[in-house]
């Protein structure tokens, strides 16, 4: 496994491999089983698996956890090596933003950047779209892999790639969960043992709403309000519980049949997100 830190060395390592199907798994490191599922999907579908590890400053708000975001490069590299990763791209902030962050081009997907998590995290999705567009240009993958846990991010990246005619496939990989149902996330490390057990409530509520919709209940606003109340009563600070059209993330029309139920809530130091799909 090659580990490279700059773009010229990455391109040199890719030289002569361009005829082989290249997959990219973009990450911010602190890898867990959810990331390893992306690497496995990449290895299953592609000849060459490139993983990027970059904690991207432009997607963190001023009061967010950029400085303290867990950085565990040595452990990450051990895990990636064991998974058969071919190439790791681990650039510095200066490599990714050589002209600084302020004046840098921003990629914005206006229809998706301001809703749901975009309301609580202004600018977050512009930072994500920008860095992912740069990674796509740098690595030039045939296919890129993202977790369904960040459903809004996955939808936004799919939309960006389609609207900007980027020549690659964006593939979503199902969420990996702890036995309690809690979605795996680097931010789960911020939870105490007791909070980690309580955090499973988010997925339980999403599953209850899904079951109600599958039974024919279309009172989405009532279900959302109930979900928010239950989470708040359990000590969560709730950003949203929302039933949306799965692809456009707008409230569903009466005849919408592919839905996503999404939630974001803070517990202790962690902001947790999760979502489940419903096919009608
Ligand atoms: O999901 C993440 O870890 C990040 O948002 C991503 C896609 C690697 C961009 O920095």
Q: What is the pLDDT of residues 110-127, one digit of tens each?
A: 999 999 999 999 999 999
Separation of 56 CA from ligand 1 center, angstroms?
8
| Mean pLDDT, rounded, of the chain | 97
Residues 190-222: pLDDT tens digits? Answer: 999 999 999 999 999 999 999 999 999 999 999
Interatomic CA distance for residues 232 and 260, integer angstroms: 21
Query: Which band of pLDDT confidence, cut at 50, 70 and 90, is reported for residue 18?
Result: confident
Separation of 175 CA from ligand 1 center, angstroms?
15
Quick one: which atom of ligand 1 is closest to the CA of 128? Answer: 9
φ/ψ bin of 29: left (φ > 0), alpha (ψ from -120 to 50), beta (otherwise): left
- For residue 234, is pLDDT > 90? yes
Indicate if the alpha-carbon torsion angle 7, 11, 13, 19 is positive or negative: positive
Separation of 54 CA from ligand 1 center, angstroms?
8
Calculate the CA 115 to chain-centre distance. 15
Separation of 28 CA from ligand 1 center, angstroms?
6
Nearest CA, atom 9, ligand 1: 128
Of 153, 173, 185, best ligand 1 pocket probe by most atoms within 8 Å of the beta carbon: 153
* Active-site residue list: 35
Q: Is 148 in the pocket of ligand 1 (CB under 6 A)?
A: no
- For residue 259, is pLDDT > 90? yes
The whole-model pTM stands at: 0.98
Nearest CA, atom 2, ligand 1: 27
Nearest CA, atom 8, ligand 1: 27
**Angle at CA of residue 189, ends 43 and 243, nearest 5°:** 75
Contact 138, 8 (CB under 8 A): no
Q: Is 132 in the pocket of ligand 1 (CB under 6 A)?
A: yes
Q: Is 150 in the pocket of ligand 1 (CB under 6 A)?
A: yes
Interatomic CA distance for residues 184 and 29, integer angstroms: 13
């Amino acid at each position: 496994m090659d580990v490279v830190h700059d773009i010229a060395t990455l391109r040199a390592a890719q030289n002569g491999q361009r005829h082989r199907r290249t997959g990219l798994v973009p990450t911010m490191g602190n890898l867990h089983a959810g990331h390893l599922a992306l690497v496995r999907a990449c290895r299953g579908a592609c000849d060459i698996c490139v993983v990027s590890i970059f904690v991207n400053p432009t997607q963190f708000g001023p009061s967010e956890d950029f400085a303290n975001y867990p950085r565990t490069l040595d452990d990450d590299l051990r895990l990636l090596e064991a998974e058969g990763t071919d190439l790791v791209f681990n650039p510095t902030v200066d490599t990714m933003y050589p002209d600084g962050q302020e004046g840098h081009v921003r990629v914005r997907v206006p229809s998706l950047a301001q809703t749901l998590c975009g309301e609580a995290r202004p600018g977050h999705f512009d930072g994500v779209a920008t860095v992912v567009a740069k990674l796509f240009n740098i690595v030039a993958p045939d296919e890129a892999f993202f977790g369904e846990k960040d459903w809004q991010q996955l939808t936004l990246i799919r939309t960006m790639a389609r609207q900007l005619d980027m020549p690659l496939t964006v593939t979503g990989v199902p969420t990996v969960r702890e036995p309690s149902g809690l979605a795996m996330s680097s931010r789960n490390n911020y939870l105490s043992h007791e909070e980690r057990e309580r955090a499973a409530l988010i997925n339980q509520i999403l599953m209850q709403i899904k079951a109600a919709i599958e039974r024919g209940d279309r009172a989405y606003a009532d279900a959302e309000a109930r979900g928010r109340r239950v989470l708040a009563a359990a000590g969560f600070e709730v950003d949203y519980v929302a039933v949306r059209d799965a692809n456009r993330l707008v409230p569903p029309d009466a005849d919408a049949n592919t839905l996503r139920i999404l939630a974001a809530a803070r517990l202790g130091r962690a902001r947790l997100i999760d979502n489940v799909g419903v096919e009608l």
